[in-house]
Every structure is written in C-alpha cells, then in structure tokens.
Structure 1
Amino acid sequence: MTTRDDQQAVVEVIAGLVDAWRRHDADAYGAAFTEDATYITFVGTYYRGRGDIIESHRTLFAKYLKGTQLADEILDVRFLGPDIAVVTGRGESYKGDHPKKLTKVQTYTLVREPSGQWRVAAFQNTKRKPIMEAISFKTAPGLIPAAQR
C-alpha cells in the first residue's frame, strides 16, 4: 500500500531533476535514475544506464542546453504497486521567461529501491505536435481523449 509519503517522495524525485537541470549538474541529474535506467529523448535517442544519462547530459548542458532551465508540470501520479509509480507530465527546456506552453509530454516510471530511495527506471519524452493533433481530432473525433471531450 502506498502512502502520502510515497506520493511526496516521487514528486520530490521529479523536483530534484528540475533542480539539477537548473544547476546544470549532470551527476545530480543522473543520480535520480537507476543504474540500468532507460531514457528516450524527444528526438528519439535511446540511452541505457545511469552513466550514459549522465554523460549525455554533461554534453547537452555544455552545448545544446547551455543556459536552459527545465519547466515541469506533473499531470498524474499512479502507483502500480507499493514499489512502482508512473508519473505523466508536461515539460519544456527554455531560456529566459518560463514558457506559456509546455510542448513535451513525459512519462517517468519510478521504482523504490531496497534502500527505500525512489529512482527513475524509465523516461520517455515526446514532442507534441498540436496542429497534427487538431487535424486528427477534427477528421477523426474518436481520437479525442475522454478528458478533453
């Protein structure tokens, strides 16, 4: 059975990722992941393992994501058992003002390790395509999610 403390601990893992990104600390960012975690970027790059996640973010923070911040909004936290949580959210990397729209949809699968520490075991980041989504909804209304009807 999961508790309010479990919910808070899972939310804190995500907040820790945002904070590590703010500091461009690839080691702290990677520490939130399990040793064998998988990480899929919005461009489709697949990373496996904490080391790969750390090294890729070290490069990203020094080059393409230099000076960026991470905006994150948790939409849902579901526990699939006492030691597994799925977090769905929206996110965006940005410079300057906080973005009005978060254009990426993200799924985090977290596990509670034997030590009691929650860590991300899998991450998927998908870039939304609102125009394509709107066209598909208009031409095939059955595709509209129930929450948007």
Structure 2
Amino acid sequence: MPDRNAVLTVLSDLVDAWRRHDADAYGELFTEDATYVTFVGTRYQGRTEIVESHRTLFEKFLKGTRLADEVVDVRFLTPDTAVVTGRGDTYKGTPPKKLTKVQTYTLVRQDDRWRIAAFHNTKRKPVMEAISFRAAPALRPTERTA
C-alpha cells in the first residue's frame, strides 16, 4: 500500500525535523494554509505561523526535546485525503513509556506529494476518563485506540 507508506513517511519526516529542531523542514511538511492546534488550544494558521512558532518553541520551551510518535490508525477518506490518529509526546532523554497526547493529522496529496493540512493535539486526562467511564459505562469506546 504505497499511499499509506507515503503518509507514514511524512510523519517520520516530522519527527526527524523535530529531532534536528529544524523549523523550516518541519513547516515544509504542511500545506501553505494548514491549521495547527496545540494541546493548550493555540491555533496557528498557515505554514509561516507554524514555522515561526516552532522556531521559537525549539529555542525556548522545547529546546533539546525529541518527539515520540505512535500511529494508531490511517484512514483514506478519498485517494488524496488521509486522516491519521496517533499518540505523541515530547521528551528529553529516555522516550516515555506512555504517550500523553492524542493527535489527529489530516493529510492531502498536492502535486504528487503528501502534506499535512490540519493537525490537532489533545492532552489525555486518564483520571477524568476513568471517572466518566465509571459513571457512564456507555461512554467507553468499544476499542481502546487513543
């Protein structure tokens, strides 16, 4: 399945650009008009904002970090649109055993190249999840994928 592999390569390239703290290479993986929502709720619009925000993050708050990423699911909505659900986290030193964020990527094929058109990052709250599942068991997903 070459399209799946091509989509996964984009995410691998994203992790590699993060490892090098290369904001330009990181941003190049996004469409020109991409949206990027951080786990704190900040929304960036467009490649330029994504690049500049990551340039600052790599120099300050995320200096020296690496990106851990695990793909949970890849679905093709059309031959040129893929949605990837995954888990991720930033770390220094040893990679974390549990990834604390759930991430959704929407990728599109443009000029025979896959790029990220939208990214959303959410911090998991396992205690709140457990409480809600205990109080209302019907809320529990049938399969634990995120």
Report the TM-score when normalising by structure 1.
0.96
Is 1:122 the counterpart of 2:118? The answer is yes
1:72 aligns with 2:50: no
Do residues 30 (structure 1) and 27 (structure 2) align? yes
The correspondence for 1:134, drawn from 130, 137, 145, is: 130
3-state DSSP class of the match of 1:60? helix
What's the % identity of the aligned pairs? 71
SS in 1 for 2:75: strand
Letter of the structure 1 residue corresponding to residue 14 of structure 2: L
Q: Partner residue of 2:139?
A: 143
Name the residue aligned to 2:56: 59
Match of 2:98 in 1: 101
- Code of the residue aligned with 1:120 in structure 2: it is I
Match of 1:42 in 2: 39
Tell me which amino acid in the other structure corresponds to 1:141.
P
Q: Which runs of 5+ in 2 are unaligned?
A: none
Amino acid at match of 1:6: D
CA deviation after TM superposition for structure 1 residue 67, in Å: 0.2
Task: Write out per-residue CA displacement over residues 81-118 of structure 1, whole angstroms, 9 at most, x where no aligned residue.
Answer: 110000000000001101010000000000000x1000
Q: Which amino acid aligns with 1:65?
A: L
Moved segments of 4+, more than 2 Å: none
Secondary structure of the equivalent of 2:72? strand
Quote the RMSD (CA, aligned, Å).
0.5
**Equivalences, count:** 144
- Letter in structure 2 aligned against 1:95: K
Stretches of structure 1 lacking an aligned partner (at least 5 in a row): none
Q: SS of the counterpart of 2:95? A: coil
TM-score, normalization: structure 2? 0.98
Residue identity in the other structure for 2:118: A
- Supply the distance in 2 between the matched residues of 1:127 and 1:85 (Cα, whole angstroms): 22
